[in-house]
Structure 1
Amino acid sequence: MKKLYGVTTAMVTPFDEDSSVNLQKVAELTEFLISKGVHCLFPLGTTGEMLKLSVPERKAIAETVVKTAKGRVTVYIHVGDVNVNNVMELASHAHQIGADGIGVVTPIYFGVNEREMESFYIQIASNLPDNFPIYLYSIPQCTGNQLSVEVANNIAKACKNVVGIKYSFPDFTLMSKYLDVNDGDFDVVFGPDHLFLPALALGCTGTVSGISGVYPEPFVALYDAYQERNIEKARKLQKLATKYCHALKNGSNMSYFKEGLRMRGMDVGVMKGPQLDLTSEEIEDLRNSLLEIDQELSILR
């Protein structure tokens, strides 16, 4: 059973001008990220604009990433959706195509109580083999639903295949409590990229990072430095990674990710509406910011 660790990169979804998915660019992006040393890939999450995609599109992207990766890195497919039937279908598909596991975001938009939250996850987990790992995924600022420690614990106790959580809100107190779920046998990967190092220090196994989808290098180097117990170097790399986070708007606008990748020679197409591509002024500001930070990256590497 492969789990998430180190730098797990949340992938953008490449679109053509007509808003269709470009699978060739999905494959190219997969190769780019693997070449930069990331440890795991996480397509079709928030960064991947998942709710703008049809079920067939999501299946095609998942298949492309798994096929391209060829087992060189761990691949988890995010399968969350507003429609529970879609979640079940996508989860089964991820298992069938040989993904290493799945992530499932909490219910979205419509409020759920704790009994409903627990039932939702147990229903999904019970439809999959016990040895196919599942990560809960909590991003309350987007979904409108918080996943309590008590419910996470109940789910993990009831479902052998629920092995951890992707937590994408900068609340260290709650994050530290997730680490105690299931008597401590529960992985936590932290979403806020600018807090990667302190999250590792508290016991997280890694980050699920959108910023690393554009600039994997400082995050991979940070994780390596931490594993080597070179904390001073890790601190410097965290400061550098944080500068990239600020320049790329901390993942609040995926058009910055796509433009940043384009500037690095990796064209991943356009945003799918209603979101728009950056203006020429925004592109120029981003270019200037990244050029300045890139000089620091070249010195540290």
Structure 2
Amino acid sequence: MKYLQGVTPAMVTPFDKDGSVNLKKLVDLTEFLISKGVHCLYPLGTTGEMLKLTVEERKAVAETVVKTANGRVTVNIHVGDTVQKNVIELAHHALKIGADGIGIVTPIYFSVNDQEMENFYVEIASSLPDDFPVYLYNIPQCASNDLSSQVAQRIADRCKNVVGIKYSYPDILKTSKYLNINNENFKVVFGAEQLLLPAFALGCDGTVSGVSGVFPEPFVALYNACQENDLEKARHFQKIITHYCEILKNGSIPHFKEALRLRGVDVGYMRRPQLDITNEESAALKEELKQIKF
């Protein structure tokens, strides 16, 4: 099995002005991120505007990233959807095209109880081979459903291929509970970029991060510093990451796309109903980014 570890950018999805997916720009983005030393790639998550894409569009994006990466980095495809049938279809597609694993966000919008949450994951994971890694994905501030460590443990008990979780909420105590699953043999990748240093100190395997999909360099540097037990250097890069988070409005996808354009990586436009940032906002972003010395 290939696991998520180190720095895993949550990739944006490039769109043309008419809203169509631009696969050529996706190839360029994939090459850009790999060239910056990231360890894995995570397309079609929240940052990738996944719920705005059709199933066929999502398949095309997944195929493009897997083909372009060509085994140079681990590729984990996010397959979560509002329709469970679509999740299963996308999961099997990821397996078919040679992805290294999948992530599945909790059920979205409609509230579920613990039994429904457990059944949801078990039914999907059980339809896949035992050696195909499945990551749970908990982002309660967006999905409206929260996944407890107790339910995650029950899911892992029933499904050998459920190997870890992507947790995108700034709760260090809950993170530590996830790390105790399976007698501390459960992979946890952390998404709250401003707390990466304490998350790595706790034992998280890495980060799946939207901001690292724009500025991967300080994330790779922070991870390397932690691997080398260089706390002073790690603190330095955590401060830089926090500054980038603030400038990019703590997860504004329109700002991500504009910042990439300013870096020379054209990833096109937002898909409606979200709008691109204005010319005035772009000029302000450009000036703010000049303040960071990296």
Identify whether the pair has TM-score above 0.5, normalized to the shorter chain. Answer: yes
1:286 is matched with 285
2:256 is matched with 257
Give, in angstroms, the shift of residue 23 of structure 1: 0.4
Distance in 1 (CA, whole Å) between partners of 2:228 and 2:65 is 30
Q: Secondary structure at the match of 1:165?
A: strand
The CA RMSD measured in Å over matched residues stands at: 0.5
Give, in angstroms, the shift of residue 292 of structure 1: 1.1
> What are the residue-to-residue correspondences of 1:134-283 with 2, within 5 Å?
134-251=134-251, 253-283=252-282
Structure 2 letter corresponding to 1:126: S
Distance in 2 (CA, whole Å) between partners of 1:204 and 1:273 is 35
Number of equivalences: 294
Which whole-Å deviations, capped at 9, do the CAs of 1:157-198 have from their partners, x for residues lacking one? Answer: 110000000000001111110111122110110001111111
Which whole-Å deviations, capped at 9, do the CAs of 1:38-75 have from their partners, x for residues lacking one? Answer: 00000000000000000000000000000000000000
* % identical aligned pairs: 67
Does residue 56 of structure 2 align to residue 56 of structure 1?
Answer: yes
Structure 2 letter corresponding to 1:256: H
Q: Hey, which bits of structure 1, 4+ residues long, moved more than 2 A? A: none
Give, in angstroms, the shift of residue 266 of structure 1: 0.3
Q: Secondary structure at the match of 2:104?
A: strand
Question: Where in structure 2 are there 5+ consecutive unaligned residues?
Answer: none
TM-score by length of 2: 0.99
Question: Where in structure 1 are there 5+ consecutive unaligned residues?
Answer: none
Q: Secondary structure at the match of 1:208?
A: strand
Distance in 2 (CA, whole Å) between partners of 1:195 and 1:66 is 30
Structure 1 letter corresponding to 2:89: E
Structure 1 letter corresponding to 2:37: G
> What are the residue-to-residue correspondences of 1:3-152 with 2, within 5 Å?
3-152=3-152
TM-score by length of 1: 0.97
Distance in 1 (CA, whole Å) between partners of 2:111 and 2:75 is 30
Distance in 2 (CA, whole Å) between partners of 1:40 and 1:195 is 20
Distance in 2 (CA, whole Å) between partners of 1:156 and 1:92 is 19
Give, in angstroms, the shift of residue 79 of structure 1: 0.0
Q: Secondary structure at the match of 2:291?
A: helix
Distance in 2 (CA, whole Å) between partners of 1:8 and 1:215 is 12
Which one has more relative contact order, counting CA pairs under 8 Å at least 6 apart?
2
